[in-house]
């Protein structure tokens, strides 16, 4: 079931206000939950990476992020999601790149504290069947 984003919540989101959670979950369809961790907080980004088995960094409202999240949710993973504001985007990217040796692009998936890759990598490893074992190993998946 899809709901159109109501004008009010849209305005609230664009005003940089509170419920980004509302905005992000709007397109969630069958109501999957993902933990919205923080918004544009570049200071503890590295901490976030370490703390969470699986975390996805992406721009707010990015549809590719949505795809990654849907895929992970479909596997039974409950990924942490960090939506980054546009102005903080550069800083976050920079920090992530520094600690992970290389160019990081949104959406960026971190598994087990390490950079896993973008949507491309997630897709290909999923098709080859490698993704699930990796997730299990990182403790993101049980069963």
Strands 80-84 and 54-59, how do they pair?
parallel
Q: What is the Cα–Cα distance from 72 to 2, expressed in whole angstroms?
A: 20
Q: Least Å distance between CB 112 and another protein?
A: 21
Q: How far is the CB of 99 from another protein (least distance, A)?
A: 26
Residue 86 dihedral angles phi and psi, to the nearest 5°: -60, -45
| Bridge partner residues of 38 (DSSP) | 82
- Least distance to another protein from the beta carbon of 87, Å? 16
Task: Report the residue number, 11 or 98, with the smaller CB distance to another protein.
Answer: 11
- Which residues contribute to the site for another protein (CB under 8 A)? 2, 4-5, 7, 10, 26-27, 29, 61-64, 66-68, 70-71, 74-75, 119-120, 123-124, 126-129
Nearer to another protein, 3 or 51 (CB): 3
CB of 47 to another protein, least distance (A): 28
Question: Other CB atoms closer than 10 Å to residue 33's CB: what's the count?
Answer: 9
| Cβ-based nearer residue to another protein, 87 or 120 | 120
């Amino acid at each position: 079931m899809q709901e159109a984003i109501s004008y009010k919540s849209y305005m609230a989101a664009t005003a940089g206000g509170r419920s980004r959670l509302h905005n992000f979950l709007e397109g969630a369809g069958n109501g999957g939950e993902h933990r919205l961790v923080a918004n544009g907080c570049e200071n503890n980004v590295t901490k976030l990476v370490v703390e969470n088995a699986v975390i996805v960094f992406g721009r707010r409202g990015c549809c590719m992020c949505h795809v990654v999240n849907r895929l992970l949710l479909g596997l039974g993973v409950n990924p942490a999601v960090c939506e980054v504001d546009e102005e903080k985007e550069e800083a976050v990217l920079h920090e992530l790149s520094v600690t992970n040796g290389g160019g990081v692009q949104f959406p960026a998936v971190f598994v087990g504290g390490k950079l896993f890759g973008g949507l491309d990598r997630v897709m290909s490893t999923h098709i080859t069947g490698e993704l699930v074992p990796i997730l299990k190993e990182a403790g993101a998946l049980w069963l």
